[in-house]
Chains A and B, each alone.
Chain A
């Protein structure tokens, strides 16, 4: 990044600026970050940015094409859906829902994953075996099928989507934390900490955990995009957020019947999903390359 007043310094770069230097080398990652930030701003300030409410229906304005197309209305920039709701507004509010799902799933699975992973690593023995067999089981069921199972028990809703998708992605975090914790165990600083009389909880969370963070952060970033995709798939199958919630996957499902007559109703929500997921993945790739050179894919 260009510094407006370059002041020559001799101090070594701090961890943050070292990270930024490595990260900003990757043009794709910076592009991803910019798009992601835009989507985040749209999601947070949806009330002020969206021209209309997400559920307001305009009579006689149904299935309008985007404003630039023939028959479009300049009041509805991206057109309207089958019930006369403004597409642009629905997409903007949809960003809020998708990002919320992604972040919620990520937070739940990171917190539970860290706890279970550290427990498995520290306690070992029966606890470790049982936990890892359960994770094996979760991983052996195809992700969407498992999510379908969870939703069919709990019933389709936004909250249950989050629960279902969190369960699906939990094993990744548990295995990651357990693996990196185990690899730290033999190292001298752990023995030193033990000798110094550090208690088990402090040893787990303060001594070991920070050294496992880099791969975890990368996994968490990519986990958000996976969760958004999975939740949209559930919404598309009618098992996620229920109408009239402007969830992108559910919007696609509603639009399926207009595939012949009104293609843009089908195109726009999917494009929104694709753009957000691509931007998060680009950002995640950049994070990985900058944080963890060992994981760098050439």
Chain B
């Protein structure tokens, strides 16, 4: 097992180096000199320019610049945002809990609805419920979620006045200093009446929008995995023993059917973050996705570079964890 983890860890190192290399190159390919971007259009004297270039290490050979860059990254220095003059890492860490909260809510929504729906569809195979659900699932994973978000805002927020249009909480009524960054927890800790409800209220629509694609994928996966398991011998044995249908399905079949579903949930992480970029943009959700898009608009390249590096590292690490977890559950992967 330790050998497996070590081998998997070693395999990620080249990926990380390549990632650093790509972000390093990317910022150099972007049109515009970093010094000129910082000093504005008026220009500065050649001496000052040389000084700044020296200051930023731009007069060094490229390989040295890259090593310096890696050195900085290893020390947690992801650069300074041009627009806010704050450290990119600090900004990222302040905003990330909002994205994490949204993503967790989205995946929770997808799993709690998708797994039971998939099970019922499999058990009642060929019924109208099965057909409707599978039709909806095709629409679900074909959904342009930026449009889905706008549509829901149009119907639920504007039409029926049921939910707010943007943000994480009613900022006029409630204010408290963030302690964890997770609004649901912070609002409970704040002891302000109604703050928690207001947070939930703000979370519902973005959660549905972000959860729609994973919901469709999970429902389909659960259904087909369940259908496979239901024809297994041990399910027939369980039935033959005289167990109730509910026990057979929920205890004997579902537990085995869930293994591929868990795999799919693990694979959704990258897609979830990509979806978060769109969802956050639509709902003005102050997370890293919206921040990334805003950074492009502001031509804040250090923030963009650091943000992409941090998000991708996160995905690499999560994928690594998921892999190791499967290795622990399923020896066939470990020795494969």
Q: Is the CB of A274 within 8 A of B273?
A: no
List residues of B (52-101) whose CB comes within 8 Å of A's CBs. Answer: none
Known contacts A233-B144, A274-B144: does B30 contact A266 (CB below 8 Å)?
no
Q: Is the CB of A149 within 8 A of B150?
A: no
List residues of A (254-287) whose CB comes within 8 Å of B's CBs. Answer: 256, 259-260, 263, 266-267, 269-271, 273-274, 277-278, 281-282, 285
Q: Is A237 an interface residue (CB 8 A)?
A: yes
Chain B residue with Cβ nearest A141: B312
Nearest CB on A from B166, distance (A): 12
List residues of A (133-156) whose CB comes within 8 Å of B's CBs. Answer: 133-134, 136-137, 139-145, 148-149, 152-153, 155
CB neighbours (8 Å) of B158 from chain A are: 259-260
Q: Is the CB of B273 within 8 A of A145?
A: yes
Q: Is the CB of A252 within 8 A of B150?
A: yes
Q: Is the CB of B147 within 8 A of A273?
A: yes
Nearest CB on B from A163, distance (A): 13
Known contacts A137-B18, A142-B270, A259-B158: does B147 contact A274 (CB below 8 Å)?
yes
Partner of B220, one of A133, A145, A237, A297: A297
Q: Is the CB of B144 within 8 A of A229?
A: yes
List residues of B (116-163) whose CB comes within 8 Å of A's CBs. Answer: 135, 138-139, 141-144, 146-148, 150-151, 153-154, 158
Partner of B19, one of A137, A144, A237, A256: A137
Complex-state Cα separation, A134 to B15, whole angstroms: 7
Q: Is the CB of B144 within 8 A of A277?
A: yes
0/1 interface trace, chain A 215-243, chain B, CB 8 Å (1 if under): 00000000001000100110011110000
Give the number of chain A interface residues (Cβ < 8 Å).
45
Q: Is the CB of B319 within 8 A of A256?
A: no
Complex-state Cα separation, A229 to B18, whole angstroms: 28
Known contacts A134-B18, A142-B315: does B273 contact A259 (CB below 8 Å)?
no
Q: Is B224 an interface residue (CB 8 A)?
A: yes
Q: Is the CB of B144 within 8 A of A133?
A: no
Q: Is the CB of A263 within 8 A of B154?
A: yes
Nearest CB on A from B153, distance (A): 6
Known contacts A136-B15, A145-B292, A145-B311: does B151 contact A298 (CB below 8 Å)?
no
Chain A residue with Cβ nearest B25: A153
Q: Is B197 an interface residue (CB 8 A)?
A: no
Q: Is the CB of B151 within 8 A of A270?
A: yes
CB neighbours (8 Å) of B14 from chain A are: 133
Complex-state Cα separation, A278 to B273, whole angstroms: 23
Nearest CB on B from A147, distance (A): 9
Give the number of chain B interface residues (Cβ < 8 Å).
50
Known contacts A143-B270, A143-B274, A259-B153: does B26 contact A153 (CB below 8 Å)?
yes
List residues of A (110-162) whose CB comes within 8 Å of B's CBs. Answer: 133-134, 136-137, 139-145, 148-149, 152-153, 155
Nearest CB on A from B309, distance (A): 10
Known contacts A140-B312, A297-B220: does B19 contact A28 (CB below 8 Å)?
no
Known contacts A137-B22, A144-B278, A278-B142: does B315 contact A252 (CB below 8 Å)?
no
Complex-state Cα separation, A79 to B30, whole angstroms: 41
CB neighbours (8 Å) of A273 from chain B are: 144, 147
Partner of B144, one of A134, A141, A260, A270: A270
Q: Is the CB of A239 within 8 A of B29?
A: no
Q: Is the CB of A281 within 8 A of B308?
A: no
Complex-state Cα separation, A133 to B12, whole angstroms: 9
Complex-state Cα separation, A277 to B301, whole angstroms: 33
Chain A residue with Cβ nearest B146: A236
Residues of B within 8 A of A (CB): 11, 14-15, 18-19, 22, 26, 29-31, 135, 138-139, 141-144, 146-148, 150-151, 153-154, 158, 220, 223-224, 227-228, 270-271, 273-275, 277-278, 281, 292-293, 296-297, 301, 304, 308, 311-312, 315-316, 319
Q: List 20 A-B contacts (CB under 8 A).
A: A137-B15, A140-B270, A140-B315, A141-B311, A142-B271, A142-B273, A142-B277, A142-B312, A143-B270, A143-B274, A145-B311, A236-B146, A237-B278, A259-B153, A266-B147, A270-B151, A273-B147, A274-B147, A297-B224, A298-B224
